[in-house]
Chains A and B, each alone.
Chain A
Amino acid sequence: MRIRTLEISVGAFIVAGIGALFLLALEVSGLSLSPTQDTYKLYAEFTDVGGLRVRGKVSLSGVTIGRVNSISLDPKSSKAVVEMDIDADVNYLSSDSVAVISTAGLLGEKYINVSIGGDEEALKEGDFFYSTQGALNLEKLISDFATSK
């Protein structure tokens, strides 16, 4: 009988360990069991991405519609190229939309805010944003203000 209680307690230990993994995944990281959504890629060129990070969110009217996949440098124009994964069901971003780097709160993280345009045609996989607006650089703003009379 002692073997039996030993085996039961080891079994309960294993169940507790695996249960803890599920709790961590579902409750703490908010992982959903539904399969990951299809996405398509969009690109945007910025003169200044200051503070934007990979995994940062892309939002439209405050609703998250995708995330930043990578940030690289275009050697020709020496501008920053941001690659974004946009949810496939958001397929109505008009082709003259503008990508703006904004800040959540005063000191919060940087994210890309898409302000929608009026064109009939929608952005497709691999397209570049027609126009962009880089990060607001507070120091640059102050120094411009201080030097211009």
Chain B
Amino acid sequence: MLDFLQRLGRNALLSLGSLGRAGIFLVGSLLGAPRMKGLPLLLKQLYSVGVLSLVIIVVSGLFIGMVLGLQGYNILVDYGSEQAIGQMIALTLVRELGPVVTALLFAGRAGSALTAEIGLMKATEQLSSLEMMGVDPLRQIIAPRLLAGFIAMPMLAMIFSVVGVWGGKMVGVEWLGVYEGSFWSNMQASVDFSDDILNGIIKSIVFGVVCTWIAVFQGYDSVPTSEGISSATTKTVVYSSLAVLGLDFILTAVMFGDF
């Protein structure tokens, strides 16, 4: 019994400790961020986090939009309201699937790479040699990666939604023959800029911060062995996915719930 209590207490202290370290780490690297000298570093990270993630985002957005169009048509046609397909596709993508699926893909594509890269830098003592040379690794290595993730994620989510709507239009209008005019007018009548699109963007910003923060911190805090790096990468993907799905419920409840 006492053993169990002790184990529980130790685990609680450990996770509280790592939460605290993560907080200090985030503040420390962001305070050192805004330097004009760091701009090339930020650009390079934006390239590897943002541009290189574009392909997977565009392809999955296209297919998810097409599946939504197909499924939505099959359900709505029974009620003779297949014109509502545009509104269904747009609302699902903008409110939920855009931010959430992009964040999940982002965690798998970019987050794991960030963790592994920083973990390996730590294992090969590149971080500590930077420190020896008087360069702050938080400012040189961590801050550009964090900022790049914060910027790239909302952009990717918006691109995802646009491509998805286009994919849904291809299936619904070009293939299944829904009238194009009612497709767009139903969509525009039901999607509100501030209530739907801005809330979706806020969601994707939150997810971007959480995913990048988890990824970079897991790499920085990893045990510097090959085993440690592999478990840190796994943790990044698992924690990011769980955090995104959990936060999504809370954000949806706050934004769209009727209280």
Please list the residues of chain A having a beta carbon within 8 angstroms of any beta carbon in chain B: 3, 6-7, 9-10, 12-14, 16-18, 20-21, 23-25, 27-31, 55
Q: Bound state CA distance, A6 and B44, in angstroms?
A: 7
- Which of chain B's residues has its CB closest to A12's CB? B51
Cβ–Cβ contact A13 & B54, under 8 A: yes
Contacts of B51 in A (CB 8 A): 9-10, 12-13
Q: Bound state CA distance, A25 and B201, in angstroms?
A: 12
Main secondary structure of the interface of A (DSSP, over half): helix
Please list the residues of chain B having a beta carbon within 8 angstroms of any beta carbon in chain A: 40, 43-44, 46-47, 50-51, 54, 90, 94, 152, 154-156, 158-159, 161-162, 165, 184, 187-189, 191-193, 195-197, 201
Shortest distance between the CB of A72 and any CB in chain B (Å):
15
Cβ–Cβ contact B197 & A25, under 8 A: yes
Cβ–Cβ contact B47 & A20, under 8 A: no
Cβ–Cβ contact B46 & A10, under 8 A: yes
Cβ–Cβ contact B159 & A28, under 8 A: no
Enumerate the 10 nearest inter-chain pairs by beta-carbon distance, A residue then B residue, closest first: A17-B155, A30-B188, A20-B158, A29-B191, A29-B193, A31-B193, A20-B162, A20-B159, A13-B51, A10-B46
Q: Among the listed A7, A16, A17, A29, which residue makes an inter-chain contact with B192, where contact means beta carbons less than 8 Å apart?
A: A29
Contacts of A21 in B (CB 8 A): 158, 201
Shortest distance between the CB of B236 and any CB in chain A (Å):
23
Shortest distance between the CB of A12 and any CB in chain B (Å):
8
Cβ–Cβ contact B94 & A28, under 8 A: yes
21 cross-chain CB contacts under 8 A: A6-B43, A6-B47, A9-B47, A13-B51, A17-B154, A17-B158, A17-B159, A18-B155, A20-B155, A20-B162, A24-B94, A24-B162, A25-B193, A27-B184, A28-B94, A28-B165, A28-B187, A29-B191, A30-B189, A31-B193, A55-B192
Cβ–Cβ contact B155 & A16, under 8 A: yes
Q: Among the listed B43, B154, B158, which residue makes an inter-chain contact with A10, where contact means beta carbons less than 8 Å apart?
A: B43
Q: Bound state CA distance, A30 and B191, in angstroms?
A: 8
Q: Bound state CA distance, A28 and B189, in angstroms?
A: 9
Contacts of B152 in A (CB 8 A): 13
Given contacts A6-B44, A10-B43, 18 further A-B contacts (CB under 8 A): A9-B51, A13-B54, A17-B154, A17-B158, A20-B159, A20-B161, A20-B162, A21-B158, A21-B201, A24-B197, A25-B193, A27-B165, A27-B184, A28-B161, A28-B165, A28-B191, A30-B187, A30-B188
